[in-house]
Amino acid sequence: MPSKVTAFGVKIASPGEAAMEVIIAREVIGQWNSQHGFAEHRALLPFDAHEKDAEGARPCDMLIAFFCGSSGVPIDRTGDTEAEIVRQIRQNKPAHVYVSGARVDLIGRDADRAQALEGIRKKYAPATVDLYGDEKEFRAKFSRNLEVTIETHSHFRRDAGPTAAPAAAREPASAKEPFADRSLSECAKTILVEACDDFEGYIGHIKVGAMLRIQANGKQLVDGTDAATITRWESAFSELLDGGYIRDAGCNGQLFQISPKGFDFLKTLGKTPVGYIAELGGM
């Protein structure tokens, strides 16, 4: 075990209307820590914008900001949040900006939302900017964006901090990815392909007694109730989860998403994600 862990402060700046989004953001960050923190010797520490340490304002390595007011909320009330975003960008640190679909004074009720969103992206470039319609969509987008940021942003380079583990000491890929050099079963491929064709990229997995349901893209994939069929599909699901092709997305272990490794595998099949998963560069 390393003697030190590199800790990154994640500031969450939001108005009162974003209470549920703040809870979800903290849950997603906690999930990242549980899945990656020990292996990578890094931890994300979320805190609210008003929290301070003994020396004043806490250091912010990543900013999560929301514009989620409803109709009639004047834009000048977002001044503090906008200043936070600009300051983060000037320091070349990652910033995430999420705009609620209800924020009509930013995106317009009848305006072309894609064009309005593109304008916000240009305003806050190179920050990550996304529009979300509900809490489920926000969770999916933030989970994916968080992974991409940590994997690609220069501020989170593994060799940038003094506690980064040397390459020779890291666990071999073969030990962490037991299915990396094997072909997936046909049932496992079917689950991934159907999830890839789903707008949100989700996989539902419910098992109660002898009953098993695996759902993706609006379909029930388990095509029988006999023991052999249940065993075949449950084995395929375990194959994906244990191999790192999918990851837990919450809901008491009943909801899962395709992982970056899963998207890489789908690419070898010529599959391209749809919906906002495609907008996030899922492949």
Enumerate domains of the chain plus CATH numbers: 6-156 (3.40.50), 174-279 (no CATH)
Which of residues 55 and 137 earns the better pLDDT score? 137
Whether the predicted model's global pTM rises above the 0.85 cut: no
pLDDT in tens, 194-237: 888 877 778 999 888 788 999 988 888 998 888 889 989 999 99
State the pLDDT at residue 15. Answer: 61
DSSP for 156-197, please give it: G-TTTSTTPPPGGGSPPHHHH-TTTTSPPPHHHHHHHHHHHT
Residue showing tokens 């899962």: 256
pLDDT in tens, 230-252: 989 999 999 999 889 998 887 77
Residue pair 81/120 in contact by the 8 Å Cβ criterion: no
252 — phi, psi (to 5°)?
55, 40
Instruction: Give dist(CA 207, CA 128) in Å, integer.
Output: 37
pLDDT in tens, 5-49: 788 889 888 765 667 888 899 999 998 988 888 888 888 988 886
Instruction: Give dist(CA 205, CA 213) in Å, integer.
Output: 6
Residue showing tokens 């075990």: 1
Instruction: Give dist(CA 181, CA 260) in Å, integer.
Output: 16
pLDDT in tens, 143-198: 988 988 888 888 887 654 433 333 333 344 333 343 333 478 889 999 999 888 87
Please report, in angstroms and rounded to a whole number, the separation of the first and last CA atoms in the chain.
33
